[in-house]
Amino acid sequence: MKTPFILINIFTVTPDNQQRLVDLLTKATKETVKSMDGFITSTLHRSIDGTKVTMYAQWESREKYEDMRRNATASPYLEEALSFAKFEIGAYEIVEIFKKA
């Protein structure tokens, strides 16, 4: 298997909108994203102070991820999130995986 395309997306929100964003991203992932071609896995995180929501995701390739972003069923979720949260996308490649011996 080739190295997956990694995304670490950081959303900044007001504490009163953190759960709203968590719910929206959960719904988007369960209802559309996870069934898209090329999706491998994602993990949703929320900060203790209530101001950040971060999603770590793995895709088979950048092209598969971009296909998802262009998909009409997935885009409304991001548009809604951007109405109350600031979004910073980060694309990464895996350098090393460390595991407990």
pLDDT digits (tens, 9 = 90+) for 31-41: 999 999 999 99
Q: Of the given ranges (21-25, 52-56, 65-69), which has the lowest mean pLDDT?
A: 65-69
What are the respective helix, strand and coil percentages of the chain, to the nearest 5? 35, 30, 35
**Average pLDDT in the chain:** 93
Q: Has residue 1 got a pLDDT over 90?
A: no
Distance CA 10, CA 37 (A): 23
Q: Give the amino acid at 95.
A: V
Which option is the CATH number for 5-92: 3.10.20.740, 3.30.70.100, 1.20.1260.10, 3.40.50.720? 3.30.70.100
Query: Could you report the per-residue pLDDT of 6-25, keeping only the tens digit for each?
Result: 999 999 999 999 999 999 99
Kindly tell me if the per-residue pLDDT of 58 is higher than 70: yes
- Residue 34 in contact with residue 26, Cβ under 8 Å? no
What is the distance between the alpha carbons of residues 101 and 84, in angstroms, rounded to a whole number? 43
CA nearest 5: which of 53, 63, 44?
63
